[in-house]
Chains A and B, each alone.
Chain A
Amino acid sequence: MADDIRALSAQLAQDPQSLVFLRLGEALRRKGQLDGALRVAVNGLERHPHLADAHDLYARILTDKHDYERAFDEWDMAVRIAPHHTGALKGLAFLYFKVGDLAQAEAHLEQARKVEPDDPSIDQAIAMMRKGTAPPAPTAATAESAPALASAPSATVTTAAFDEARVFAGLEGAHEGLLLIDGAGRVLGGALKNGAGADVTDTVAAYLAGVSQEAARTAKLLGLGAWMGLSAEGQHGNVHLAHPTPQALLLVVRERGMPLGRLAILAQRATAMARRWLEKQ
């Protein structure tokens, strides 16, 4: 095992973009080196934020660390990226069982069984759960298989409404057309892709810092008090910029069809959630 870890670490060092971090993180986790596993998983997620297997790995490590709330968010994210990810479905079932929601636990296991009807571990987990025994926390069945990749939706076509777990997940990994930055244009969370699918996070963040400074200057010099929000209709999408805290800026991007009023309501909710998310960091 130690040799495996050394070999995998060397492979990852040689090619930091490779998906070998999934195997290394899992190997470290199984060895009980949870802090090391966590670092590997987080670094991997930063490079592959839309990889369901990476969220699954992170969730398994968090579960081992008894951080069930964040583990739930990560498995939830994995399922949103790849709805048939059985590892994440089993993980969610495990967490639902732990909080006593047997119906949800069974529903997630049934969903996993539909995807992998020949997997005996799922039948076993359902049977255990019906007997009142916790189904086992999922292991990395998919870590070495082809990753269930899903490309991030374009920032201009995302239509989903917010719920708290998704917003947090979005701020971790960028799926909600959300971008959170500090006053100097540094990214705190989220990401954006343009219509062509290119990552424009850093560019937009840099411009937004300037927009915010100019908005503050404008409101102050014209005696309008502090600025609270900036809404704009674009040719291909609408945006709303707000302040979750005095030092942070949140950009919400939605498709052109979403009216500015509705966008402002969504942005208000996202701002409150971002504020709570920032407080937790």
Chain B
Amino acid sequence: MSKALDLITRVRGVRGAMLVSAEDGLVVAEQLMEGIKGGAVAALAASLAGRLRRAMEAAGTGTSVFWHLQAEQGAILVVPGDATGGILVVAVAEPDVNIGLVRLELLRAAEAAI
């Protein structure tokens, strides 16, 4: 588990990675840089994932397999928990991170987490 997170955090620009319970937003495992509030990231990512899942299902696109929130000073990238037994794989990153690379590592970590 920690090896999978390690591969995510090795990507340049990633400030932290974690496994989160989609159901209750609690941290399952984490590897974070100083200053990142793991509990808050977990809770907020789980909440946003739930809302996004409902919107996407309603829109007919099916449940999400990857999503990415882009903000001015950073980004959150998530592989949602449906395929991983209710575990979200989350990365917190700098705004200019290589999204494609992080996505690949998140999907790998999700496979490892199953």
Contacts and interface: CB of A to CB of B under 8 A. Distances in A.
B54 interface: yes
A195 B57 CA distance: 10
A260 B73 CA distance: 20
B44 interface: yes
Given A194-B60, A219-B71, A232 B66 contact: yes
Nearest to A232: B67
B44 A207 contact: no
B56 A232 contact: yes
Interface string A182-203: 0000000000111110001001
B104 interface: no
Contacts of A204: 55, 58-59
A230 B62 CA distance: 16
B66 A215 contact: no
Interface residues of A, number: 44
A271 to B, nearest CB: 13
Instruction: Provide the main secondary structure of the chain B interface.
Output: mixed
B65 A234 contact: yes
Interface string B40-72: 110011011001101110111111111111111
Interface stretch (A5-13, A107-115, A236-244): A236-244
B62 A224 contact: no
A225 B75 CA distance: 10
A231 B60 contact: no
Contacts of A51: none
A212 to B, nearest CB: 9
Nearest to B72: A225
Given A154-B60, A214-B51, A215-B48, A233 B75 contact: no
Given A218-B76, A232-B52, A156 B71 contact: no
Instruction: Provide the main secondary structure of the chain A interface.
Output: mixed
Given A221-B44, A233-B65, A235-B65, A200 B60 contact: yes
A222 interface: yes
Contact of A218 (B44, B59, B64): B44
B71 A225 contact: yes
A127 interface: no
Given A196-B60, A215-B48, A227 B65 contact: no
Contacts of B66: 232-233, 260
* 9 closest A-B pairs by CB: A194-B60, A235-B62, A225-B72, A234-B61, A237-B61, A207-B55, A224-B71, A232-B67, A224-B74
Interface of B: 36-37, 40-41, 44-45, 47-48, 51-52, 54-56, 58-76, 92, 99-100
Interface of A: 154-156, 192-196, 200, 203-204, 207-208, 210-211, 214-215, 217-219, 221-239, 251, 253, 256, 260-261
25 contacts: A194-B59, A200-B58, A200-B59, A207-B58, A208-B55, A211-B48, A215-B48, A218-B47, A218-B69, A219-B71, A221-B40, A222-B36, A222-B76, A222-B92, A224-B74, A225-B71, A229-B69, A234-B56, A234-B65, A235-B61, A235-B65, A236-B60, A239-B56, A239-B61, A251-B59
